[in-house]
Amino acid sequence: MGAHQPKIKYLLPPPHGHVPLNDLTSQFPIRLTRCGAIPVHRPALSYGQYFEGITVVLSRNNYRLLIDAAASQLARDISLADIEEILIYAEKHGSDYHPARIEVMANEVRAAFVMNVAVTARGRERVFREFEVLERLNNKYDSAFLPEAYFKNEVFLPSMVMFLADWFQGYHEFHLSRDKDDTQRLVLWDRNKDHCYFSGPQVWQVYSQAAKIMTLYYDIDTFEQIFPWHHAAGDFVVKAQMRSVDVKLVTARQYAPMVERSAGISVYEALLFFLLNLSVRMRLDRLDGIGTVAWADDHCVDATLEGFLGALRMKERKGAVPAGFVDAFLGYSRSLVKKDLAYRYHALVDACDQAAPDIPVIRYHLKRHISKFYSALRNESAQ
């Protein structure tokens, strides 16, 4: 008798629920770019090849790396004989990654992972960089907002590189949308049931918690931060309860300073640039995730500022920044007149890739955004 081999099931994502792969659908080519992107000539990759490549990586050395990851996630000893079934769900296709959800059924419990797969030259480069960034951040911070990254690997013919990380079970993407009355709403993408709109207080919590997460991972001393990120890419996910929400960050593509410390910029000035950029980026999305660039309503600014300051105060309580740092930063920021803030905002926007689709939307809304931010900052400073 040979060694135990778990059953493996492959599932494709139709509009509603997943369906098993079959002989016909295994020949279907997967889309290698996001919706609306200009097609680039590349060798086709079928769903059959995609699932086979993932299986090759998972099964290497008798599933040793997968077993270790499942044991770590579930905090219990697991052997190959304990794994009854492995389900591999194709989830979505972006410009760089083609993530698959991996569910490992072992002794009637479930470990859930994501396998981030890349097939393009740019995607392969980003897979390896993101794996290193996640490892670094999870070692540097005790915050549990990012997935644990377990291992990276690759297969050839066709060439695919990938890394395994935690899948946040019960968390879903969210995006700006318009309801039947053409009112802006924030919608939770839950495939297991109908998409639902967040309430006003939940929307506030989503933006506040997202801003808090980004600020907790900001290094006050080196100016390093997680960037780029974008709501349209589904970088943040949410678990919604009755009245509250819980937010996680599923990716960290880069971790580097936006301005160099050697340039003589003060800690307060660098942090202010981080906040200004955060206040703009938090408002950007695409309608329903794939439509035109969207801009969140003004309440997003207040929620972002609340989350930012909450994170700074947490850092202060933990001794990660000096006592009195938050009040000193607020005093520095409050000393600036609106013209000073406008100058910094325009410098930020001018430094961006002007061909990016976000830029016209940012420029259209920037004057009002500056006024809103200036007012929110002074109101917060006066408290």
- DSSP string for residues in 272-321: HHHHHHHHHHTTEEEGGGTSSEEE--THHHHHHHHHHHHHHHHHHHHTSS
How many whole angstroms separate alpha carbon 227 and alpha carbon 231?
12
Q: Of 142, 166, 190, at which residue does a domain stop? A: 166
What is the pLDDT confidence band of residue 296, given thresholds at 50, 70 and 90? very high
On whether both 317 and 184 belong to a single domain, the answer is yes
How many whole angstroms separate alpha carbon 366 and alpha carbon 267?
25
Residue 357 lies in a domain: yes
Q: What is the pLDDT of residue 3?
A: 76
For the cut 80, the answer to whether the pLDDT of residue 2 exceeds it is: no
Average pLDDT, integer, range 326-338: 96
On whether both 88 and 218 belong to a single domain, the answer is no
Q: Of 166, 198, 228, at which residue does a domain stop? A: 166
Residue 193 lies in a domain: yes
108 vs 115, which has greater pLDDT?
Answer: 115
Nearest partner of 259 among 249, 244, 271, judged by Cα: 271
Three-state DSSP class for residue 78: coil
For the cut 80, the answer to whether the pLDDT of residue 154 exceeds it is: yes
Q: Of 166, 192, 225, at which residue does a domain stop? A: 166
Asked if residues 64 and 70 have their Cβ atoms less than 8 Å apart, the reply is: no
On whether both 100 and 231 belong to a single domain, the answer is no
For the cut 70, the answer to whether the pLDDT of residue 78 exceeds it is: yes
Range in 145-149, 166-170, 194-198 the model is least confident about: 194-198
On whether both 206 and 114 belong to a single domain, the answer is no
Planar angle of CA 280, 286, 290, nearest 5 degrees: 155
Q: What is the pLDDT of residue 31?
A: 75
Q: What is the pLDDT of residue 194?
A: 66
For the cut 50, the answer to whether the pLDDT of residue 56 exceeds it is: yes
Three-state DSSP class for residue 53: helix
Average pLDDT, integer, range 9-31: 87
What is the pLDDT confidence band of residue 157, given thresholds at 50, 70 and 90? confident
How many whole angstroms separate alpha carbon 300 and alpha carbon 305?
9
Which structure tokens are listed for 109?
């419990």
Residue 2 lies in a domain: no
On whether both 141 and 238 belong to a single domain, the answer is no
Query: Which residues span the domain enclosing 122?
Result: 7-166
Taking all residues of the chain, what is their mean pLDDT, rounded to a whole number?
A: 92
On whether both 152 and 25 belong to a single domain, the answer is yes
Residue 132 lies in a domain: yes
Average pLDDT, integer, range 334-353: 96
Range in 16-30, 153-167, 209-223, 344-358 the model is least confident about: 16-30
Q: What is the pLDDT of residue 43?
A: 54
On whether both 101 and 182 belong to a single domain, the answer is no
For the cut 80, the answer to whether the pLDDT of residue 372 exceeds it is: yes
Assess whether the previous peptide bond of 228 is cis (omega < 30° from 0).
Answer: yes
Residue 141 lies in a domain: yes
Q: What is the pLDDT of residue 87?
A: 98
Residue 78 lies in a domain: yes
For the cut 60, the answer to whether the pLDDT of residue 37 exceeds it is: no
Residue 1 lies in a domain: no
For the cut 70, the answer to whether the pLDDT of residue 152 exceeds it is: yes
On whether both 103 and 245 belong to a single domain, the answer is no
On whether both 38 and 141 belong to a single domain, the answer is yes
Residue 151 lies in a domain: yes
For the cut 80, the answer to whether the pLDDT of residue 382 exceeds it is: no
On whether both 12 and 101 belong to a single domain, the answer is yes
Q: What is the CATH number of the domain that holds 109?
A: 3.30.200.20
On whether both 309 and 189 belong to a single domain, the answer is yes
Rg of the chain over Cα atoms, rounded to whole angstroms, equals: 22
On whether both 209 and 321 belong to a single domain, the answer is yes
For the cut 50, the answer to whether the pLDDT of residue 243 exceeds it is: yes
Average pLDDT, integer, range 60-89: 96
Query: How many structural domains is the chain composed of?
Result: 2
